[in-house]
A and B are shown apart, each in its own frame.
Chain A
Amino acid sequence: MKLGLRIWILIIALIISLLAINPLLAFNSGVVVKSVEKNSSAFDSGLRDGEVIVSINGEPIKSKEDYGRFMEEFFKDGQMKKIEIATKKDTYLFFANETPKITVDNLPKTRIQTGLDLRGGARALVQPNGTLTDSQLEDLISVSRNRFNVYGLSDVQIRGVSDLEGNKYMLIEVAGATPADLEKLVAQQGKFEAKIGNESVFHSGKQDITSICKNDARCAGIRSCSETSGGYQCSFDFLVYLTPEAAERHALITKNISLDETGKYLSEKLYLYVDDVEVSSLFISSDLKGKAETQISIQGYGVGSSQEEAYNEAKKEMNHLQTILQTGSLPYKLTIVKLDTISPTLGSEFSKNIIIAGAVSLLVVSIIIFVKYRKIKSSLALLFTSFSELVIILGVAAFIKWNLDLPSIAGILATIGTGVDSQIVILDEARKDITISLKERIKRALFVVFAAYATSVASLIPLGWAGAGLFKGFAITTIIGITVGVFISRPAFAEIIRKIEEE
């Protein structure tokens, strides 16, 4: 039997989807590092999140359980020991007397990402009071992202969402382990502190900082770039305006500090802390010694292998510092309007039940189809088409990195359901015993299929916006699913049926 173009399109779509889902990953073993606590010995050794641990001290690590068992066994005696973590990229060596402060997880078996309600995690929908413009929302998001990074939480997704009423929100999702303090992190004003030695010079907030220069080239910007050994370096500075009280404090503290050997700077640095974690340190120019200066220039630099890279790095770093200083003086009060912490406990149970439900549903549908038509070939073709539709939807979801949550899964099930319905229309029309040509009959069937498709899409579109985008998952998976169905699998099915009927 010669395969027609439409069937080839279906087959190619299937192969691409399978590649997107990548079942080859199923043979991968090892655990992936989800987070590394800053300033821990593991962090200092250079280990970072995203690396895949293959073995520890020569012992192969294949799963999260292996990792847990090894650590428990290894540090049972509480002795300081050498630990050698081999990842796919490198080997990291450090000493520890307790389980390293990193979190690990099994390598994903597929590229399909499951949503929070399946794999567990925390989600907060945060509403700033007052109306924000889009750029203000962007600012807020970058400030918040920085704040989470300061805490070493990198597996955090923050995005702006708006709803049908025009309200703007920030949606924060932390996957996997649920940090109990998400609420604190979001709602509490961050504490910024600048210290010299052990003494506090100024804090973030209106008390000490009147304003920060941002986006104004006269008082903030990249000042110079120069070639250094092995690359380029660009320096920046920006002004921070202190209140007179804070300036006075600065004068008092710096009065007694000696100059360093170059004579250009004081021997003590100005350290910047965010919530008691050191994030940066600055040299203090010698002419500031003992002065009640309300304008403080904060300097820094970025390096890179090319001038452009160094420039961008410097810009990023400057923005980072400005944001940190601003964090405390965030002009918006944030309210958590929705907070979900979902335990991962039931997640695997869910997935298992959903897969079984899907399989049994398909079986039930097959039985009905077979009893009705009593034709193995056509029934199998119908089931094959539905199954490939499922694979293609999952492939698309994996490709666009869509998180499959419960509403998305319901959407997929609905799609497969309407897909089977459309196939029945085609099958029945094709098997009709009337004088009109088979081609014409299939054309008629496809008319019904397209009309039903158009109405479904029309009815789904408004959902994309309702409820701060929480139903986007459902709307998108369903629209993808029925579109795949109408343009790829249905025409292929029609062709298969035509071939079968013509035989």
Chain B
Amino acid sequence: MENNSKISELGRIYDKYYKLLLVLPAILIILAIGYFVYFNSHEGDIIYKDVSLTGGTTISVFDEKADVSIIKEKLKTKFPDVIVREISDIRSGRQRGFFVESKAQPDELKKEIEGVLGYELNSKNSSIEFSGSSLSQGFYQQLKNAVIASFLLMSWVIFFVFVESKKIKAYTLMISASGVVLALQNVSFVKIFGGIIIFGGFVASLFSLEKKKRDFLISFGIVVASLIAYIYPKEIFLFLIVAVLIYFYAKHSVPSIAVIGCAFADIVLTIVVANLLKMQLSSAGIVALLMLIGYSVDTDVLLTTRVLKHKEESLNKRIFGAFKTGITMTLTSIGAIGVALIFTYSLSDTLRQIFSILLIGLFFDMFNTWVTNAAILKMYAEGKKIS
């Protein structure tokens, strides 16, 4: 009984102040944008990249006795950009070796390390990974495009789940498909598949619409057609596509734009923290940002479904019920990923980065789901009288 009254008391406070809660994410996002503008003007990019994205060499040496700090000092004189880190085994805490990362060519770096260590590096005592700079920069560009395509596809799926009108689902699918085709324009499968969707959708809507809207669609179709014709620069068109999609999503389904926005905010804020921690992102790190979408979306979908579709309980109760479930989900994820991070922390750079990013992202996801998304949904549900 006492518990119940506490909850209703909390509910009253929440009812009164939940709109104010939205100030927090707004501030965070504004700060993040400001930070990115500042960061970009200094670094020329929005992240710190490691050698897998800029090109360079990573050499891991398995030497249990080498003094890592001395090696670092000696290598720094010849390669100012060098990073040296210890590799150790979490269970015993023993040093297993160290790895060296630099933009230098593998032969130069290897020779220098051999000079410091006083013995030769071979395939038994070391691993050498080298990526050419044009390749790595190409990878980076591709990963960025893949992230854009991923976002367009995932946004559309969310919209598809929460909006009723079939027509608007079809329009947005067409626009999203042209965006994906633009982002991944050299993959023939995407070109063909995307082309079919766009063309099919266009023809279908031409025949199914009354006259006035047809004019709109024809002009819209021309835009899409010109996109397929690859008019450059594609960034402008991608921007246009994103803007149109946001307009459609926001107009027809506030809840889905809230889910998409939360996933976006999770990623943006995670990048900010990664930058603040001076984490040099590798290609695996960018992939981890995409993994974040999967983790982030399920709690948001849960919340949205409970609020919009299950009308047996009061609005606050539905939000609170979703919160109880969602927080268990996120906590188990944090627990599992935290453990994985501890065990791979000093052994593998790839896994460490993937798990660190997921962990940071999950914390932001809790915030964005239960503060931002919950408040938006409550506002929306009360406005639409879904309670």
Contacts and interface: CB of A to CB of B under 8 A. Distances in A.
Please say whether chains A and B are actual partners in one complex.
yes
A360 B96 CA distance: 22
Given A343-B123, A345-B62, A467-B139, A372 B293 contact: no
Nearest to B180: A462
Interface stretch (A20-28, A245-253, A412-420): A412-420
B296 to A, nearest CB: 9
B135 interface: yes
Interface stretch (B124-132, B213-221, B226-234, B370-378): B124-132
A407 B332 contact: no
Interface string A135-173: 000000000000000000000000000011111000000
Interface in B121-157: 122-132, 134-135, 138-139, 141-143, 145-147, 149-151, 153-154, 156-157
Interface residues of B, number: 88
B142 A466 contact: yes
Interface stretch (A6-14, A211-219, A320-328, A427-435): A427-435
A15 interface: no
A1 interface: no
Given A164-B142, A164-B186, A455 B290 contact: no
A417 to B, nearest CB: 5
A429 B305 CA distance: 12
B305 A448 contact: yes
A472 to B, nearest CB: 11
B116 interface: no
B242 interface: no
Interface stretch (A74-82, A272-280, A297-305, A362-370): A362-370
Contacts of B151: 459
A485 B124 CA distance: 40
A450 to B, nearest CB: 9
Given A350-B347, A361-B340, A368-B328, A164 B135 contact: no
A428 B321 CA distance: 9
Interface in A287-343: 335-343
B291 A414 contact: yes
Contacts of B187: 164, 166, 465
A338 B298 contact: no
A187 interface: no
A432 B106 CA distance: 60
Contacts of A361: 335-337, 339-340
Contacts of B183: 462
B114 to A, nearest CB: 14
A466 B313 CA distance: 46
29 contacts: A164-B145, A166-B187, A335-B132, A341-B128, A343-B127, A353-B89, A360-B339, A364-B332, A364-B336, A368-B332, A372-B328, A407-B350, A410-B355, A414-B291, A417-B336, A418-B333, A421-B333, A434-B313, A454-B157, A454-B160, A455-B158, A458-B154, A458-B156, A459-B150, A462-B147, A462-B153, A462-B180, A466-B143, A470-B139
Interface of B: 60, 62, 87, 89-91, 96-97, 106, 122-132, 134-135, 138-139, 141-143, 145-147, 149-151, 153-154, 156-158, 160-161, 180, 183-184, 186-187, 283-284, 287-288, 290-291, 293-295, 297-299, 301-302, 305, 309-310, 312-313, 321, 324-325, 328-329, 331-333, 335-340, 342-344, 347-348, 350-351, 354-355, 358
Given A353-B347, A364-B335, 19 more contacts: A163-B138, A163-B139, A180-B122, A338-B131, A350-B348, A356-B91, A368-B328, A410-B288, A420-B332, A424-B332, A425-B302, A428-B325, A434-B312, A447-B309, A452-B294, A455-B294, A462-B150, A466-B145, A471-B283
